[in-house]
Structure 1
Amino acid sequence: MASRSGLLFSGSDWDFRTLSRAYETIEAIATEELHLDTYPVQMEIISSEQMLDAYSSVGMPLMYRHWSFGKHYLYQELLYRKGGRGLAYELVINSNPCIVYLMEENTMALQALVTAHAALGHNHFFKNNYLFRQWTDAGAILSYLDFAKGYIARCEERHGVDPVEEILDAAHALMEQGVFRYHRPPKLSSEKQREGLRERLEYEERSYNDLWRTLPPSKDGTKVRETDTMAERKKSLKLPEENLLYFLEKNSLILEPWQREVIRIVRVIAQYFYPQRQTQVMNEGCATFVHYTLMNLLFDRGLIGEGAMLEILRNHSNVIFQPGFDDPRFSGINPYALGLDMMQDIQRISTAPTAEDRDWFPDIAGNGDWRQTLLDAWANHRDESFIRQYLSPTLIRKWRFFVLADAANDPHYEVASIHNERGYESIRSALAHSYDIGASRPDIQVVDVDLLGDRHLRLQHKVKDGIVLEGGSRDATLRHIRKLWGYEVSMVAVDAQTGARLHERSTSQIGE
């Protein structure tokens, strides 16, 4: 498995044989020492231009065309050429097989590092974490993207680029509100999915009646039937509905079959990325812990030299660098740094706990099996629950965490929680809450619509902690919803705790 010198590689140059030999060795050690379980790996070598292109299309190997991807490409290229931002050394895709992009400009030491990070660390997390297992279909995503790319291209040929872009613009604007958060969407195998899509689209195109687009509302704008009460409407439409794209796709009277399918494509892609937004600290922490552990094992076994190890440690240090709050480079908590520290802290608690650790973590302190403890954590948590479960007082002190109370009516900040018994609980809870996307994303739901009356679509925004939507973005979003719905749309803001009505905004107030 190693060269005659005993090293996997020497020097910075690499070829495919060396890359394959390094991967096989790293994978064997990962299985033996860390008990990782991964998808088969497909590694592809790409240039910096191709990496920029991957950035622009959210990292997917197959993606439909849209002007926003080109805009993003030009922005990233400008930053890269002027030295304002570097490129990722790798990109990894949650698919089966797991696709890993490696930069051709990387040295061999860096290729070994990112192989361990992406092809083993991220790969294991994708395959085993419960969110990815429940919400994504790694075996079908590539075939679905291939279908989506071809379908949208055919729509552009048949209907024109501008009409397709209008639908995509509106759907992209609603992607954050186009996911199911609390129940699992149906999952189909790729073969059944392709066949079902083909049959459904053919049927809808045969049965579509354009008269529905011009059907006028009732003259008086009231209920058409006495039995059509609000309660019955909500029951028949399964309201309230949190997934705005799903509701529009299924219930809009103005959309043609191809437009519904374009919305569905955007919705499926938004759902695919939903677990990744909830597991950034865990996912990057797992991958960083894996690469750091494996690279040290390679060095300890004499498979990489001191020069390679120094280069690996330099790049590792850059990845986990955490600027101070008063540093111009500070942009928040580095998920690589916090994730790695928490993984290593779990390892310490499992093998060499303090009395404090035994009080806080009686189930894992001193169990001696840090590998299984980490595997269980990686499989069964997301960022919010992981931090709430495993952040220790030791790490709170190391990171110098504390809680600031920032009430809108108070002229000063107040240090609400410090490093004491009660403070540790509050700090951990506050940090975990900040990673709960349910708390940080606006809670907007469809609450009522009279399809047999004026078809006025009513949305409700539950305002938490007095944080209302920014006016310009809110109005632009309402216009996008109206474009897909075809009739008036309004949004009522209500206090999440009291239910008190705060204000209402409708498309009739903001115009086209």
Structure 2
Amino acid sequence: MAKKKLETQPLFTESDWTFESMGIVYEAIQDIALNDLSLDVYPNQIEIISSEQMLDAYSSIGLPLMYQHWSFGKRFVRDETMYRKGMTGLAYEIVINSNPCISYNMEENTMALQTLVMAHAAFGHNHFFKNNYLFKQWTDADGILDYISFAKNFIMKCEERYGFQAVEDLLDAAHSLMSHGVFRYRRPPRPTKEELEAMRRMRESHEEKQSQLDIWMESMLNPSPEERELNRRERVDRQSKMNLPEENLLYFFEKNSPVLEPWQQEILRIVRSLAQYLYPQKQTKVMNEGCATFVHYYIINRLHDQGLITDGAFMEMLHSHTNVVMQPDFDDPRFSGINPYTLGFNMMMDIKRICEDPTDEDREWFPDFAGSDDWRSVLKHAWANYRDESFIQQFLSPHLMRKMKLFVITDDSKKDELEVTEIHSSRHYKKLRQTLANSYDITNYEANIQVMDADLKGDRILKLRHGVHNGILLEDKSRDEVLKYVKYLWGYDVTLDGHDQETDQHLYSASTIEEKVEPGSKKKS
């Protein structure tokens, strides 16, 4: 009896934390996470840091041992100023996708918050990092810490040898293209002869769709049919050798730039490797935070049910939890879109409800798992095999659409007024869900720019193509500034042509080629 009474005593009663009390709580959390939820996690490394260190981690995109760059300092000054003025708070923690999984907890946290944070990061995020297919496919949790250490030391040595300004200029150019320095799809295996022939025919078909400028130039030069065929075959051949089109611009420059030295190529490799490491996080914000929030909510409730945390500590945790998942209404001044914590957590809780207590509507929409009672397996399957877009498409229920009062506002440039096109009703559920899912598809808000051609034996002009989606063009000023960085990395002039992805209609052209003015003529304004 004495042993049973001891086991039901609270793990802590004081507000202040100690390393000893955190260790005791960690073991209780781990027992629930591994033996109840059956989570699969990396070994944990939990570190306590100050607010200044947390701000420093903010500025270096959440990674330790980061190399130096002025943009990180700019972020630090901005975040520190807003924090000191009380305009924003700091995260309770930052967690790194590594093995061991490193969690940085704020030293200002109370013991109750440290409990919440350990459940959230050390087990929720940790499980998601280790098991989601995007992270398994694109990141190396075992090697990332060593690679970051190498990157920092390598860049420091480059600054000493080649000069701080030369390294900073290169990093400026590389960072401007960081979102275009990733492979969005795994590299295909070596193609068969049949596939090579199919690709050759596809390239030939694409080459027939020349811009009006190319047609005009050919007509002015008036080459013979034999010369045109020879030029076409040379173009197809060099595109094949350079694996064009290429979506990863930093990779292309690293391998093909005529002007970059080996140390510069290595720095490009560092920047694109970090971009690739962060790429899955951009596609799983709702799922990642939803998983971690669900895990911490389940664990703190289990701890409270077992009498291992006091009512006061439990209420403090619920207060923080409620703040995290609070969703301002669309007409609230604080509204800035759908809170990923809110949507993710609500969907995880809704899946649990559908498994345990489904309605007829749930059974119609989710026949595979409604009423199965095995919500743990359903959640772990979802966490492992989906990203935000596909997760919403597959698991957002009519019940939750009504609960969150979701609706769609369409902003048609051809109309004078906004229009509510979908609401949470039976006629609109599927389209509303699809519209919400589309908003998490990164192809809808990241420009699709690819290298199409570069004649290294000729004028060496780099030809880029922007596949315009939904008529969304690049902003002129930022586009032209980034093209300057592209020219810096390539070493020669660059052209960019925008084509509608659906119709292939040419929409715009931009280049770094300066207009030449003949003596006695006037330059166009």
Q: What's the counterpart of residue 122 of structure 1? A: 125
2 CA distance for matches of 1:388 and 1:125? 19
* Worse-matched range after superposition: 25-34 or 225-234: 225-234
1 CA distance for matches of 2:99 and 2:129? 10
Q: What's the counterpart of residue 462 of structure 1? A: 467
Q: CA deviation at 1:444?
A: 0.5
Taking only aligned residues, the RMSD between alpha carbons, in angstroms, comes to: 2.0
Q: What's the counterpart of residue 113 of structure 1? A: 116
Q: What's the counterpart of residue 50 of structure 1? A: 53
The alignment status of 1:132 with 2:144, answered yes or no, reads: no
2 CA distance for matches of 1:480 and 1:137? 29
2 CA distance for matches of 1:316 and 1:441? 32
Check 1:362–1:157 CA distance in 2 against 1; reply closer, same or farther (3 A cut).
Answer: same
2:18 partner letter: D
SS at match of 1:34: coil
Contact between 2:453 and 2:464, CA under 8 Å: does it hold in 1? yes
The alignment status of 1:141 with 2:144, answered yes or no, reads: yes
1:48 partner letter: S
2 CA distance for matches of 1:254 and 1:395? 55
Q: What's the counterpart of residue 218 of structure 2? A: none
SS at match of 1:101: strand
The alignment status of 1:302 with 2:307, answered yes or no, reads: yes
Q: CA deviation at 1:4?
A: 7.9
Q: What's the counterpart of residue 482 of structure 1? A: 487
**1:410-438 deviation digits (Å, cap 9, x = unpaired):** 11222222233331000000000000112
Q: What's the counterpart of residue 384 of structure 2? A: 379
1:266 partner letter: V
User: Which residues in structure 2 correspond to 1:306-345 (within 5 Å)?
Assistant: 306-345=311-350
SS at match of 1:474: helix
2:83 partner letter: Y
The alignment status of 1:13 with 2:16, answered yes or no, reads: yes
Check 1:510–1:430 CA distance in 2 against 1; reply closer, same or farther (3 A cut).
Answer: farther
Contact between 2:8 and 2:306, CA under 8 Å: does it hold in 1? no
Q: What's the counterpart of residue 272 of structure 1? A: 277
User: Which residues in structure 2 correspond to 1:229-268 (within 5 Å)?
Assistant: 229-268=234-273
Contact between 1:460 and 1:494, CA under 8 Å: does it hold in 2? yes
1:237 partner letter: M
2 CA distance for matches of 1:49 and 1:38? 29
2 CA distance for matches of 1:417 and 1:20? 50
Contact between 1:3 and 1:9, CA under 8 Å: does it hold in 2? no
2 CA distance for matches of 1:263 and 1:389? 38
Contact between 1:7 and 1:303, CA under 8 Å: does it hold in 2? yes
Q: CA deviation at 1:5?
A: 7.4
Q: What's the counterpart of residue 163 of structure 1? A: 166
2 CA distance for matches of 1:4 and 1:399? 40
2:166 partner letter: P
Check 1:105–1:345 CA distance in 2 against 1; reply closer, same or farther (3 A cut).
Answer: same
With normalisation by structure 1, the TM-score equals 0.90
**Structure index of larger Rg:** 2
Equivalent position to 2:513, from 500, 508, 512: 508
2:273 partner letter: V
Q: CA deviation at 1:185?
A: 9.8
Q: What's the counterpart of residue 78 of structure 1? A: 81
2 CA distance for matches of 1:510 and 1:392? 57
* Worse-matched range after superposition: 418-427 or 72-81: 418-427
1 CA distance for matches of 2:126 and 2:102? 9
Q: What's the counterpart of residue 204 of structure 1? A: none
2 CA distance for matches of 1:134 and 1:337? 27
2 CA distance for matches of 1:227 and 1:398? 59
2 CA distance for matches of 1:376 and 1:85? 36
1 CA distance for matches of 2:174 and 2:515? 20
Q: CA deviation at 1:439?
A: 2.0
2:130 partner letter: K
1 CA distance for matches of 2:168 and 2:18? 42
SS at match of 2:481: helix
Q: CA deviation at 1:408?
A: 1.2
Q: What stretches of structure 2 of length at least 5 have no aligned partner? A: 190-220, 517-525
Residue correspondences, number:
477
The alignment status of 1:152 with 2:143, answered yes or no, reads: no
With normalisation by structure 2, the TM-score equals 0.88
Q: What's the counterpart of residue 93 of structure 1? A: 96
Contact between 1:475 and 1:510, CA under 8 Å: does it hold in 2? no
2 CA distance for matches of 1:65 and 1:457? 30
2 CA distance for matches of 1:285 and 1:30? 16
**1:183-213 deviation digits (Å, cap 9, x = unpaired):** 1599xxxxxxxxxxxxxxxxxxxxxxxxxxx
1:149 partner letter: K
